[in-house]
């Protein structure tokens, strides 16, 4: 790869930063497949040696031209380079430049690992040679779906083997540092995205999966959503007892809801407008609700977050389940139309698990490719992907916010939940650390971006979380890579626009002196001083809402192998069993018939509980 060009690009985004190009290349070698590495090499070759010879002003102009290009591929390349360069510039503790910038913006740095962390609850199976195992059920994945399924099956007396592609990290490793936290705990180091880079895809990839890194939000599935699902063949009437069981095991409560400064500002604005506001249920016990909580998206160092690591996986392990980490499932073994095990790669060794049944819970992005590699041809495998695409609206205040600390999420507003037949947006706020903020903020020049970061300590965010009616698709590339295609529909974009306007209204009512959108171009106004909300929306429309125009992120991946009444419209039957292969059960967020409209963890766990309970009854 053309390191000289990459170094010049990184220095243009963040002048004076150190070690960024090497960090980007190391991440690319670890997380990108061969085809994606070739694309990066070709991209850097396009910039070539000449880019490094340009003056800083001309380099900035060249990057802005890529940002504003009519060619989607150029905009996608700009987004990828910007996010990589700026995130690594701001998040690396060993970087002198990053530490100086932290001091300038008031960020105290990561809290560090706890002095006396809880003892590890799980002893994974060590795979040190090619290995064959026999069991009743092999479970692929250990997050909200796989962790629950493993516990239900193991406590029913079945012999269970769990395969987790990620590593095992526990409280002693959760030091609050973005680097290496993203690298250890997130899919593709938190850099996964749709093929056009239009939506960042944020998913856990470790033992415990998304439950280790999520924001503890624990909504039950809304009743109107269950009614919608029932009409599509989903067994909604059976889910209630499983929702109860899940909420009890997770200790879901609103007793650890001391608002952060972010939530206080959300509440101030919402109450001023007379809009809906409510407490947010959370799966925490003994939560600190202070500085440590802000970095809890990198794992809870206290063990207060009731992830599958401390609940369902611990139950499964206590009941005799064997858990193998760093073990990637390659394909399902199918014998006579029935699942007979899993072929996997574990720490460089071949791992073959023979079983009477297989539960796939690799997530909405991982389950479809695994089924496709295993020979399933149902056209609904990979279809109907929903993402709850979210975009931030930022408010800069005269008062200090310290957006990196405080309870993860404690309040929300459903004022615009139902804009059209149950589809709309939810307003939530989340903690943001410097590396993530630097990657998400608009960049028009190094000086402009640095000025925005200088205001970071006084900046809050309101996430506009869309319940999307449209859908995307997960496919298997010719090179074996997973490819995610998703375009926001016109009516979904109208609801996003309403949500951006609503978030601006909340921030303005809360007293923000400057409000910014999530666009690549700088779209902002200063209430009562420069511009107004109507002009803000016109500028947002002019900047565009498509890929590379407006930044969207998805923390909720759902629906790519949905349950239903017919193989013509779904990938699995109402028991979660695939239509094509007996005793091959899906038990993760991919089973959702449509978007849930709420943070999906509890719903995923309830579906896994239901599907695993039915499988256990059949096998026993």
Q: pLDDT digits over 325-339, tens only?
A: 999 999 999 999 999
Whether 172 is covered by a domain: the verdict is: yes
d(CA 338, CA 34): 33
The model's pLDDT over 442-477, given as tens digits with 9 standing for 90+, comes to: 999 999 999 999 999 999 999 999 999 999 999 998
Whether 292 is covered by a domain: the verdict is: no
Q: How many Cβ atoms are within 10 Å of 419's Cβ, its own excluded? A: 17
d(CA 368, CA 62): 39
The model's pLDDT over 198-256, given as tens digits with 9 standing for 90+, comes to: 999 999 999 999 999 999 999 999 999 999 999 999 999 999 999 999 999 999 999 99
Same domain, 171 and 84: no
What burial class does residue 51 get, using C-beta atoms within 10 Å of its C-beta: 0-12 exposed, 13-18 middle, 19+ buried? buried
CATH code, domain with 378: 3.50.50.60
Whether 267 is covered by a domain: the verdict is: no
Q: How many CA atoms lie within 13 A of 572 on its CB side?
A: 32
Whether 258 is covered by a domain: the verdict is: no
Range of the domain at 531: 390-467+489-545
Same domain, 374 and 399: no
Dihedral of CA 194/200/206/209: which sign? Answer: negative
Residue 424 reports pLDDT greater than 90: yes
Same domain, 377 and 395: no
Same domain, 404 and 516: yes
Whether 122 is covered by a domain: the verdict is: no
Helices 34-53 + 20-31 axis angle, to 10: 160
Tell me if 382 sits within 8 A of 475, measured CB to CB. Answer: yes
Length of the chain: 620
Comparing 424 with 114, the larger pLDDT belongs to 424
With CA atoms as reference, report the closest residue to 198 among 475, 443, 487. 487
Number of domain units in the chain: 3
Kindly state the helix (H) or strand (E) to which residue 366 belongs, with its residue range.
Answer: helix 363-373
Residues labelled as active-site residues: 556
The model's pLDDT over 555-594, given as tens digits with 9 standing for 90+, comes to: 999 999 999 999 999 999 999 999 999 999 999 999 999 9
Phi first, then psi: give them for residue 242, nearest 5 degrees. -70, -35
- Joined together, the tokens standing for residue 242 give 């499983």
The model's pLDDT over 121-166, given as tens digits with 9 standing for 90+, comes to: 999 999 999 999 999 999 999 999 999 999 999 999 999 999 999 9
Whether 328 is covered by a domain: the verdict is: yes
With CA atoms as reference, report the closest residue to 292 among 400, 428, 408, 118. 408
Q: Which residues lie closer than 8 Å to 119 by C-beta, 6 or more apart?
A: none
Same domain, 438 and 319: no
Same domain, 525 and 418: yes
Tell me if 6 sits within 8 A of 29, measured CB to CB. Answer: no
């Amino acid at each position: 790869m053309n390191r000289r060009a990459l170094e010049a690009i990184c220095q243009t985004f963040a002048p004076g930063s150190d070690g960024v190009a090497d960090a980007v290349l190391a991440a690319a070698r670890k997380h990108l497949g061969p085809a994606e590495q070739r694309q990066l090499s070709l991209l850097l070759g396009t910039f070539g040696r000449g880019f490094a010879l340009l003056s800083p002003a001309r380099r900035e102009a060249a990057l802005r031209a890529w940002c504003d290009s009519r060619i989607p591929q150029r905009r996608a390349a700009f987004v990828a380079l910007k996010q990589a360069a700026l995130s690594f510039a701001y998040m690396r503790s060993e970087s002198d430049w990053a530490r100086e910038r932290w001091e300038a913006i008031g960020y105290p740095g990561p809290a560090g690992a706890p002095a006396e962390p809880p003892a590890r609850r799980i002893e994974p199976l060590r795979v040190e040679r090619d290995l064959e195992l026999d069991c009743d059920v092999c479970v692929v994945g250990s997050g909200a779906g796989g962790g629950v399924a493993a516990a239900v099956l193991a406590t029913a007396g079945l012999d269970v083997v769990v395969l987790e592609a990620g590593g095992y990290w526990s409280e002693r490793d959760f030091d609050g540092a973005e680097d290496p936290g993203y690298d250890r705990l997130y899919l593709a180091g938190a850099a996964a995205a749709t093929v056009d880079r239009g939506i960042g895809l944020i998913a856990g990839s470790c033992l415990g999966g998304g439950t280790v890194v999520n924001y503890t939000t624990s909504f039950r599935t809304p009743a109107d959503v269950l009614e919608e699902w029932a009409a599509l063949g989903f067994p909604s009437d059976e889910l209630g007892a499983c929702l109860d069981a899940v909420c009890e095991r997770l200790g879901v409560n609103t007793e650890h809801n001391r608002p952060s400064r972010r939530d206080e500002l959300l509440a101030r604005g919402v109450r001023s407008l007379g809009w809906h506001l409510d407490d947010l249920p959370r799966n925490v016990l003994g939560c600190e609700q202070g500085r440590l909580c802000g970095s809890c998206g990198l794992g809870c160092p206290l063990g207060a977050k009731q992830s599958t690591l401390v609940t369902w996986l611990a139950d499964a392990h206590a009941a005799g389940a064997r858990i193998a980490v760093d073990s990637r499932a390659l394909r399902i073994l199918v014998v006579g139309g029935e699942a007979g095990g899993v072929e996997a790669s574990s720490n460089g060794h071949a791992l073959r698990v023979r079983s009477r049944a297989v539960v796939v819970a690799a997530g909405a992005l991982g389950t479809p490719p695994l089924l496709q590699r295993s020979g399933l041809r149902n056209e609904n495998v990979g279809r109907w992907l929903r993402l709850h695409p979210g975009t931030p609206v930022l408010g800069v205040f005269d008062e200090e916010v310290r957006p990196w600390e405080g309870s993860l999420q404690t309040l929300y507003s459903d004022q615009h939940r139902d804009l059209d037949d149950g589809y709309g947006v939810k307003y939530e706020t989340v903690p943001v650390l410097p590396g993530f903020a630097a990657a998400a903020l608009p960049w028009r020049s190094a000086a402009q971006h640095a000025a925005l970061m200088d205001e970071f300590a006084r900046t809050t965010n309101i996430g506009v979380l869309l319940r999307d009616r449209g859908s995307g698709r997960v496919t298997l590339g010719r090179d074996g890579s997973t490819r995610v295609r998703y375009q926001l529909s016109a009516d979904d974009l109208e609801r996003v626009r309403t949500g951006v306007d609503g978030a601006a209204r909340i921030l303005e009512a809360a007293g923000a002196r400057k409000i910014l959108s999530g666009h690549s171009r700088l779209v902002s106004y200063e209430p009562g001083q420069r511009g107004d909300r109507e002009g803000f929306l016109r500028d947002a429309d002019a900047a565009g809402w498509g890929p590379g125009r407006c930044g969207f992120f998805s923390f909720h991946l759902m629906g790519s192998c949905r349950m239903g009444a017919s193989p013509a419209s779904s990938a699995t039957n109402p028991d979660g069993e695939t239509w094509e292969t007996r005793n091959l059960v899906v038990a993760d967020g991919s089973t959702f018939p449509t978007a849930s409209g709420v943070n999906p963890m509890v719903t995923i766990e309830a579906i896994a509980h239901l599907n695993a309970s039915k499988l256990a009854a059949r096998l026993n």
